[in-house]
Structure 1
Amino acid sequence: MIPNGYLLFEDESLLDSTVAKMNALRKSGQFCDVRLQVCGHELMAHRAVLACCSPYLFEIFNSDIEPHGVSHVTFDDLDPEAVEILLNYAYTAQLKADKELVKDVYTAAKRLKMERVKQICGNYLLSKMESHSAISFRNFSSCMGDGRMLSKIDIYIQEHLLEVSEQEDFFKLPRLKLEVMLEDSLSLPSNGKLYSKVLNWVQRRLWENGDQLDRLMEEVQTLYYSADHKLLDGALIIEEHGMFGVGAEEDHMQLVQKKPPRENSNTKRQPSSSTSGSSSPSGLASNTPKPCRREWKYIASEKTTNNTYLCLAVLDGVLCVIFLHGRNSPQSSPSATPCLMKSLSFEAQSEELEEHPLTSMHYARSGLGTATLHGRLIAAGGYNREECLRTVECYDPKEDLWTFTAPMRTARARFQMAVLMGQLYVMGGSNGHSDELSCGETYDPHTDTWAQVAELRTNRCNAGVCSLNNKLFVVGGSDPCGQKGLKNCDAFDPVTKTWNNCAPLNIKRHQAAVCELDGFMYVIGGAESWNCLNTVERYNPENNTWTLIAPMNVARRGAGVAVYNGKLLVVGGFDGSHALRCVEVYDPVRNTWRMLGSMTVARSNAGVAALGDVICAVGGFDGNNFLNTLEVYDPETDEWSDLLLIVFCDFLYVSGRDGNHFWRVA
């Protein structure tokens, strides 16, 4: 067109051609007048192009003493691949990065003040956030000082706190444990108001009393919720007001007694800076005075049980978990009532029937190890939201009673347990504070003691454990390097006390269900990275080979497995979105899977074992709560039940499944 006598022509192809040619010139080093030194890598570019895209580099180039020479800019803390991605973007307007590099690209874009790229990377990270990554994403956003991302992540955590609290990163956070004494007429306020009071109390302890945050977390802190709705130190109440006075029970007084004064406790601590600096060995805030305040923020909380709360908060710049329990009086241990399992048949005279829940474990446990030993169910370790456990409980089905045995030497969760030559074996796992474990131990039921065994060759948790041909096999898992899914398979010989490598799995797996059946080892489901699997592999020890067999109907990780009547029952687990109730069974003769009756509640990372003629599922996580409950599956009725049938009568005759025995009930 020639409007008003002027020639006007827009060549759209020229722009694309020019951009492509300039990028080619950059990559070949032609006409380049900028050298970026990035962690030992040299990247060439053109000053004019970079100055248009990066305000940070514009300021550097604008201040060059010799503007016509070659500019040298050094970055010792950026990823060379991320900077190369930004250079491609500067020349082509296309941002292309592998998902593993997005955080590094974000970091480089922040340094170069490329706000548009930073925002695009932030939006991508937010779109990929799930419960397992929320804590790491928040830590990253906090380090970057990105308030927009932090607010969106905090909203996500508020909506998914219970799911987030089941993840590994959550268990590595520092923990503050509080117990709040209440008068009979009082109850704790709503979550938000409650934790604003908690934050104020911690601030007073740090700034007025000179306490240190890491020392506050060393033991349970006892507080008192007064009638005027203030949260006070329990020791001060006793000392100054004699609040509990004469008649308080001895163990009650032990909880609220005044703690000994700490060194420099009279020195007021000044608020510390949000800038990075030295930290205490535990990763908590240093008590070195700083010129400005760190962040104090309540993020999210949930009431988990009656008068028990879980909270995620930022205390003095440190992301922390707060556990709070309110109580009116010292807890008493409930006495167990002998009951009879519903699966028993009975004949009674003048009977009255009443159903009661099966007795629960003393501790809620998820990611526990379970096995059957001498006709009893063993539940070891696991985590209960608050901590990883060492304790071991033993269930007697005849008495419907849980009792404690000797605790493990190491607190651990996310592990499996197997019986080998009459002893229990546990290997690896995580203790909630450090990386995956390599240590293992074995339990001798005759001496009620645990002893160490030779360490694994690879530190790992979420591995499968199985006894086969008088050896202990450890399969798959995840390692400290971040591999969520390993192919490793190792065998332990209890006679020579040595480990040997076996053929690797066909597919990387962690949180798989593993067990032995008819001389083969089965590895079922699990996850590769965070993608849940329905595939199943079978190991033949005769020729040291793995074979893929028929897949399950439902992809799942964190499921339990037990053997019944020559078949495999796979129970519960997690499908990537929800904890599962569903159960399916594998028939090795037909190489087929079919669905069975579902559990009464959803359970992921539960313990599953065969006990007599029933299958037991205990503990786990239902998507909202950590569980201490037990339920049993009767293959004859294809039903799960968490109930006992108690019969009150003058005389009761009960026929058990393992023979005819009679009890007289007075």
Structure 2
Amino acid sequence: MGGGESSARAVPLRAGSSVQVPPKNSECPPSRLIPCHAACPCPAPGPRSLPSRGPAGLGSAAESGSDRAERAQITPGIIPKRPGPGGAAAACRDPLASRCSGTARLPAPAAIAGTMVRNMDDFDFCLPSHAQGVLEGLQQFRTNPKLADVTLVAGGREFPCHRGILALCSHYFYAMFSGDFAESIAARVELKEVDPSALEMLLDFAYTGKVTINQGNVEGLMRTSSQLHFPAIQKVCSRYLRQQMDATNCLGICEFGESHGCPEVSSKAWSFLQENFEAVSLQEEFLQLSKERLAVYLSNDQLQVQEERSLVEAVLRWLRHDPGSRAQFLPELLELTHLVSLPDQYLQNLLATEPLVRDSDASKALVARSRAMGQSGTGALKNPPSPPQKLEEVLVVVGGRVLEDGEDEERGLEMPAATRNFAFYNPKSRRWMALPDFPDYNKWGFSLVALNNDVYVTGGSRGSQNDTWSTTQAWCFCPRDGVWQPIASMLRARTNHTSAVLNGEIYVIGGTTVDVVEVERYDPYNKSWCAISPALKYVSNFAAASCLGKLYLVGSCAVKYNALTLQCYNPVQDLWSVITSPFIPKYLSAPRCATLRGLIYLIGDNTKKVHVYNPEANIWQKVQLLHTLHENGGMVALGDRLFVTGGHWKGMDGDYRVEMEVYDCSKDLWTREGSLPCLWLFHSSSSIFMDTSKWTEPFQGDHGW
């Protein structure tokens, strides 16, 4: 071909299309190639933007020079330069022309613009709806085969879509389409062993950012998102499972999390099982366990049970569900139930009355040997389990400022000497025992909760005139290790806030300096805090408790002395709502609340009245009055009882008392339970299970109580 008549070369593309580029000896230099997506639903150009073109997108042979000049001016991004020494041919930048005529001399657009507008700053334009509009357009284009560049096939169903969208949302598809795989250029990609219904939901999420998760689809979504590596869906499904966990499903969720690589789910299920083994063992799911799985659970030395016999009773229930095939496992499982620690009378009754034990020579020998060991204190089992912990539910208290002898109001916030500040109360022995001190002495305004039998303290102020600022600090005490460790700081500094545990996470509410009830949540698995939706109505005098899978906040605006407001947080939807309920109490000063048997109990430090809220019936009632007022304390559920702590001033002489009271809900009766071990002006409390045999030092406060 001659130099003047050379034609353009066609460069084949991966998908079969081609683009025309000028030949090497063309007088017109090639334009820049800008990669983009043909399916992007941007607004089309107007009717005058481009004249008719040839099949390859080039200008027609009959097109005049003036037509090309007009297109050069209106084509987006093409700015011709003034003719230079090389003539008009060197100045041409029209990518649609096959060659330059050498006669057109076009004025520079910059020169034209300079005569129309003043020299001003750049104008930045952003269309807020553009990103959403593009996504919506791409979703509509999925129904047009010409505008979808790949079709996924699963379970006999076809799903047209776009490689770029899939690669952005899925590590699996990114690797598939960006690597040297046959699927990277294939028009159809078959996905084997993929649930088509779950795939459809994942694709809809990729284009809309929306998905609805419920009990019916969460397992399928989790499974498929794990297969195809959709991290956003994996994360939200994991959170949904953790929030829906209870005694009826924790075992299944634990196995599901382990099999699908979700350690945060299985870890939460393990923790729930450890804290609620007795309740879990009563469920149908427990009876369906395999022998191997049951042995794993029984071997866990962190199981918390009120009585050691609960392990034996759980094994017998499991055996009775299918005695024909399971009776053979009785000796092996009994060895995991700490028979030596059981009362001799119980073991004797087991031998005399339990048919499963009587019919097994190995089991009878094991029980008899355990009785002998318990009576003599000698001997050893063939395969002894780990020594059982003496886990007992106790009341733990972290104290703040202490009222010293002779102290009066004139001392203000002057910091007293550090005193012992961490102890637990054993209701069985009715004794206070010492625990390692909380490192931040003389603090006030902090909040304490227990999660997975660890104690967490958040926020507060240090209580001196030189340092009264709120803090973001958070601490954790692990009874197994016996040490306090700082954890990740909260996002906001807080004092006089409240905290609660819901679905294995810690929620801290209020206590900041703004007129909004700010809330954040701590995930112990990821060891991080995140902000959640603030409460709808501002309150500064409040308490919170979790009940039946939701968080309840009750309080008022202290300066107005108005009636209480009840607000409820749904963690699945991250939404607050205001609940209107009959007989809600009037104003309460410094309210405190706790949950017991599905009911929320509420008290204040300005009255002896005790109010009870039933979330299912949405109604308030009253129970028996307290014996005395309790200030700056707490209310904690421990077993089937409520413990109320906190001091009060008695008499005109300013005598300060720190009495405790206990409520028996079965009898509707409050009884006095002794006193706190120190004259704490501020403290916070909770309940945990702990090995009481590890902590034997009596707590000696300033007053030696």
TM above 0.5, yes or no, is no
Higher strand proportion (structure 1 or 2)? 1
Name whichever structure is richer in helix by fraction: 2
TM-score relative to the length of structure 1: 0.37
Report the structure number with the largest CA radius of gyration: 2
Relative contact order (alpha carbons < 8 A, sep ≥ 6): 1 or 2 greater?
A: 1
**TM-score (normalised: structure 2):** 0.35
